[in-house]
Amino acid sequence: MRFKKNIAAFVAVLFAQIVYAERSITIQSPDQNIQLGIMHRDNGDVIYRVLYKGKTVIAPSGLGFKLNVPALSLVKFNLLSADSSATDENWKPVWGEQSVIRNNYKQLVLQLADHSGSGIKLNIVFRVFNDGVGFRYEFPQQEKLNHFVVGEELTQFAMAGDHKAFWIPGDFDTNEYGYYTTSLTAIDATGGGKAQEIHAKTFFDKNATQTPLMMKSADGLYINIHEAALVNYPALNLVMDKSSLIFNAHLVPDATGNKAYLQTPAKTPWRTIIVSNKAGNILTSRLILNLNEPSVIKDESWIKPQKFVGVWWEMHVGKSSWDYSGSQVGSQQATKVPHGANTANVKRYIDFAAKHGFQGVLVEGWNTGWEDWFGQWKEDVFDFVTPYPDFDVKELSAYAKEKGVKIIMHHETSASVTNYERWMDTAYRFMNNNGYNSVKTGYVGRIIPRGEHHDGQWMVRHYERVAKKTSDYKIMVDMHESVRLTGLHRTYPNWIASEAARGNEFNAWSVGNMPDHETILPFTRIMGGPMDYTPGIFKIKMSYYNAEKKEQVHTTLAKQLALYVTMYSPLQMAADLPENYEAKPDALQFIKDVAVDWDETRVPDAEPGDYIIMARKAKGSPNWFLGAITDENARNLVSSLDFLDAGKKYVATIYRDADNADWSTNPEAYVIEKFLVDSKTLLKLKLAPGGGTAVSLMPASTAELKSVKKYK
For Ca ion, which is the closer residue by CB, 199 or 469? 199
Tell me which of Ca ion, ligand NOJ, none is bound by residue 610, counting a contact when its beta carbon lies within the kind-specific cut-off of 5 to 8 angstroms: none
Tell me which of ligand NOJ, Ca ion, none is bound by residue 412, counting a contact when its beta carbon lies within the kind-specific cut-off of 5 to 8 angstroms: ligand NOJ
Tell me which of ligand NOJ, Ca ion, none is bound by residue 364, counting a contact when its beta carbon lies within the kind-specific cut-off of 5 to 8 angstroms: ligand NOJ
Residue 503 Cβ, how far from Ca ion at the closest point, in Å? Answer: 6
Selecting among 452, 505, 518, 551, the annotated active-site residue is 505
Residue 612 Cβ, how far from Ca ion at the closest point, in Å? Answer: 23
d(CA 398, CA 512): 38
For ligand NOJ, which is the closer residue by CB, 505 or 631? 505
d(CA 268, CA 265): 11
For Ca ion, which is the closer residue by CB, 160 or 501? 501
Burial class (CB in 10 A: 0-12, 13-18, 19+), 354: middle
Burial class (CB in 10 A: 0-12, 13-18, 19+), 91: middle
For ligand NOJ, which is the closer residue by CB, 175 or 181? 175
Residue 373 Cβ, how far from ligand NOJ at the closest point, in Å? Answer: 8
**Residue 206 vs residues 47, 170, 175, 210, 500: alpha-carbon distances, Å:** 27, 8, 15, 12, 21
Residues that bind Ca ion (CB under 5 A): 480
Residue 431 Cβ, how far from ligand NOJ at the closest point, in Å? Answer: 17
For Ca ion, which is the closer residue by CB, 248 or 504? 504
For Ca ion, which is the closer residue by CB, 446 or 480? 480
For ligand NOJ, which is the closer residue by CB, 478 or 597? 478
Return phi, psi of residue 273, to 5°.
-130, 110
Residue 503 Cβ, how far from ligand NOJ at the closest point, in Å? Answer: 6
For ligand NOJ, which is the closer residue by CB, 153 or 364? 364
Residue 559 Cβ, how far from Ca ion at the closest point, in Å? Answer: 21
Q: Which amino acid is at 443?
A: Y
Cis ω for the linkage preceding 449 (within 30 of 0): yes
Residues that bind ligand NOJ (CB under 6 A): 312, 364, 412, 442, 444, 480, 499, 503, 505
Q: DSSP letters of 299-355?
A: --TT---EEEEEETHHHHTTSSBSSTT-S-TTTT--S---BS--HHHHHHHHHHHHH
Residue 708 CB: number of other CB atoms within 10 A?
A: 19
For Ca ion, which is the closer residue by CB, 286 or 502? 502
**Residue 613 vs residues 41, 242, 487, 562: alpha-carbon distances, Å:** 46, 34, 23, 9
Residue 444 Cβ, how far from ligand NOJ at the closest point, in Å? Answer: 5
Q: Among all residues, whose Cβ is closest to Ca ion?
A: 480
139 DSSP β-pair partners: 266
Q: Which amino acid is at 306?
A: Q
Return phi, psi of residue 109, to 5°.
-110, 120
Nearest CA among 235, 238, 255, 259 for reference residue 68: 259
d(CA 15, CA 223): 26
Residues 6+ away with beta carbon under 8 Å from 380: 416, 419
Tell me which of ligand NOJ, Ca ion, none is bound by residue 454, counting a contact when its beta carbon lies within the kind-specific cut-off of 5 to 8 angstroms: none
For ligand NOJ, which is the closer residue by CB, 215 or 353? 353
Cβ-contact 670, 655 below 8 angstroms = yes
Residue 376 Cβ, how far from ligand NOJ at the closest point, in Å? Answer: 14
d(CA 523, CA 629): 14
Tell me which of Ca ion, ligand NOJ, none is bound by residue 627, counting a contact when its beta carbon lies within the kind-specific cut-off of 5 to 8 angstroms: none
For ligand NOJ, which is the closer residue by CB, 165 or 381? 381
Q: DSSP letters of 349-378?
A: HHHHHHHHT--EEEE-S-BTTGGG-SS---
Residue 416 Cβ, how far from ligand NOJ at the closest point, in Å? Answer: 13
Residues 6+ away with beta carbon under 8 Å from 704: 651, 676
The SS3 assignment for 464 reads helix
Residue 567 Cβ, how far from ligand NOJ at the closest point, in Å? Answer: 15
State CA 15 to chain mean position distance.
35
The two beta strands, 121-129 and 24-28, are: unpaired
**Residue 316 vs residues 311, 331, 583: alpha-carbon distances, Å:** 10, 8, 20
Residue 362 Cβ, how far from ligand NOJ at the closest point, in Å? Answer: 9
Does residue 452 have an active-site annotation? no
**Residue 214 vs residues 299, 452, 476, 604: alpha-carbon distances, Å:** 36, 28, 30, 19
Cβ-contact 259, 151 below 8 angstroms = yes
Cβ-contact 34, 48 below 8 angstroms = no
User: Residue 441 belongs to what H/E stretch?
Assistant: strand 438-442
Ramachandran bin of 297, using left for φ above 0, alpha for ψ from -120 to 50, beta for the remaining angles: beta
Residue 500 Cβ, how far from Ca ion at the closest point, in Å? Answer: 9
Cβ-contact 497, 477 below 8 angstroms = no
For ligand NOJ, which is the closer residue by CB, 578 or 608? 578
Nearest CA among 149, 175, 173 for reference residue 256: 149
Residues that are catalytic: 505
